Amino acid sequence: MRNFHPRNKISHTDFREFKNIPPTNDANVLQEQINLMDMQKALLNILDDYSEERYRAEDTQRALLNILEDSAADKINMENIQRAVLNILDDYCEEKYLAEDTQRALLNILEDSAADKMNMENIQRAVLNILDDYLEEKIKVESINIELISVNKELEAFSYSVSHDLRAPLRAVNGYAQILNEDYGTKLDTEGKRIIETISHNALKMGTLIDELLSFSRLGRKELQKTEINMNELTEKILIDQNISISNTVKIKIGKLHNVKGDYGLLHQVMFNLISNALKYSSKKTHPFIEIFSEEIKDEIIFSVKDNGAGFNMEYYDKLFGVFQRLHMQDEFEGTGVGLAITQRIIMKHGGKVWAEGIVDNGATFNFSLAI
């Protein structure tokens, strides 16, 4: 049996103190709410004591009646206090849920951080692998550069040999052919004279080929001497030097060409090659026509040389700018097969591009670009 203790007894006066407490959900009434809970526990204790300690019934009954009277009188205030308590509990639960959400968010961040750490480690490993590959490739490139330097030196030695050693025999061949023609020409029949002319012609052709090969090989070592170039004047000079006039035989139309900065000698070679090709491949047309023009596109000047000549098959375009690559038979049109290769190398050295379009028997257009 549990004994009733005076501290558990709540008097009529003590309970009435709750009567005038206004309803509120402010945290300042938290102490009053705690007292209310103590009161409720006291009431339960009294009820227990009532059933267990009937010999003290009179005191218990009086206390209980007092509490019940005050409870009835203060029912409204009690409900308000209960609502305040519930509101506080709701706020507490809401804050608790928010705290749990915050904890979950923090856990997610930590998990993401761990995943990011793994990703960062993977990235670091990938970067290290790339650096290893880069260093390995750099070593290979340096090794290749050393080999290229050696090859270039050999090429220079070869060029010197071609320039001096091969020219002497060619001069001898051509010289003896001329002696035969001059001293013994009257004693030769038509076939003999044709053979001597063929020897002389091929010796000269071989000399031209050597000159062009030397020009091609020297381009890689030549430093650009850039100046402001009037492309109209340059083109007119080429036509005059080659005794090419605008006549009824060939019609040449020159538009207003843009001025550019470049190496005069090299760009002169480019225009000479393209104009010579246009004249050569349109020479078999009844009314050969050549047009030279330029246009500005974005930050480039595009120069074009267009003709209505033999054209070419675009299927063999890849061979067009190769050394010794020809898209026409030698007996159709003469040439060494080096001119367009030289043209491409010069323009690439200027930072530009060369390209062409052609249709068989309907002409071709050769273009090159130079930066403004």
Of 67, 90, 77, 76, the residue nearest 22 (C-alpha) = 77
**Sorting pLDDT into bands at 50, 70 and 90, what band is 25?**
low
Across 283-311, average pLDDT: 91
Higher pLDDT pick, 346 / 103? 346
Lowest model confidence (mean pLDDT) among 71-85, 229-243, 272-286, 349-363: 71-85
Percentage of the chain lying above the pLDDT 70 cut: 60
Percentage of the chain lying above the pLDDT 90 cut: 16
Q: Which fold has domain 226-371?
A: Heat Shock Protein 90 (3.30.565)
Across 180-202, average pLDDT: 87
Contact 300, 368 (CB under 8 A): no
Integer Cα distance of 124 and 117 in angstroms: 10
Across 19-33, average pLDDT: 52
Contact 276, 335 (CB under 8 A): no
Integer Cα distance of 75 and 255 in angstroms: 108
Integer Cα distance of 167 and 165 in angstroms: 6
Bridge partner list, 297 = 300
Q: What is residue 305's predicted lDDT score, i.e. its pLDDT?
A: 95
Across the chain, mean pLDDT equals 74
Greatest alpha-carbon pair distance for the chain in Å reads 171
**Sorting pLDDT into bands at 50, 70 and 90, what band is 20?**
very low
Rounded to the nearest 5 degrees, what angle is found at the Cα of 167, between the Cα atoms of 320 and 209?
A: 10
Q: What is residue 250's predicted lDDT score, i.e. its pLDDT?
A: 82
Q: What is residue 98's predicted lDDT score, i.e. its pLDDT?
A: 62
Contact 250, 282 (CB under 8 A): yes
Whether the pLDDT of residue 234 is over 90: the answer is yes
SS3 of residue 294 by DSSP = strand
Higher pLDDT pick, 69 / 10? 69
Q: What is residue 274's predicted lDDT score, i.e. its pLDDT?
A: 92
Across 303-325, average pLDDT: 81
Q: What is residue 13's predicted lDDT score, i.e. its pLDDT?
A: 46
Across 286-308, average pLDDT: 93
Domain boundaries, the chain: 6-73, 138-219, 226-371
**Sorting pLDDT into bands at 50, 70 and 90, what band is 171?**
confident
Integer Cα distance of 67 and 56 in angstroms: 17
Q: Write out the two tokens for 292.
A: 């030279």
Lowest model confidence (mean pLDDT) among 149-163, 198-212, 321-335: 321-335
Lowest model confidence (mean pLDDT) among 116-125, 169-178, 266-275: 116-125
Q: What is residue 70's predicted lDDT score, i.e. its pLDDT?
A: 61
Integer Cα distance of 103 and 226 in angstroms: 70
For 138-219, give the CATH class: mainly alpha
Contact 215, 342 (CB under 8 A): yes
CA terminus-to-terminus distance, the chain:
110
Q: What is residue 5's predicted lDDT score, i.e. its pLDDT?
A: 44
Higher pLDDT pick, 329 / 242? 242
Integer Cα distance of 225 and 237 in angstroms: 20
Lowest model confidence (mean pLDDT) among 111-120, 193-202, 248-257, 269-278: 111-120
**DSSP code of residue 2:** P
Contact 223, 349 (CB under 8 A): no
**Element spanning 288, H or E:** none
**Sorting pLDDT into bands at 50, 70 and 90, what band is 159?**
low
Q: What is residue 181's predicted lDDT score, i.e. its pLDDT?
A: 86
pLDDT digits (tens, 9 = 90+) for 84-122: 656 665 665 665 566 666 667 656 666 666 676 677 777
Whether the pLDDT of residue 260 is over 60: the answer is yes
Higher pLDDT pick, 252 / 51? 252
Q: Which residue has the tokens 């070419």?
A: 312
SS3 of residue 290 by DSSP = strand
Does this model's pTM top 0.85?
A: no
Where b means 16+ CB within 10 Å and e means fewer, 228-255 reads ebebbebbeebbeeeebeeeeebebeee
Q: What is residue 57's predicted lDDT score, i.e. its pLDDT?
A: 52
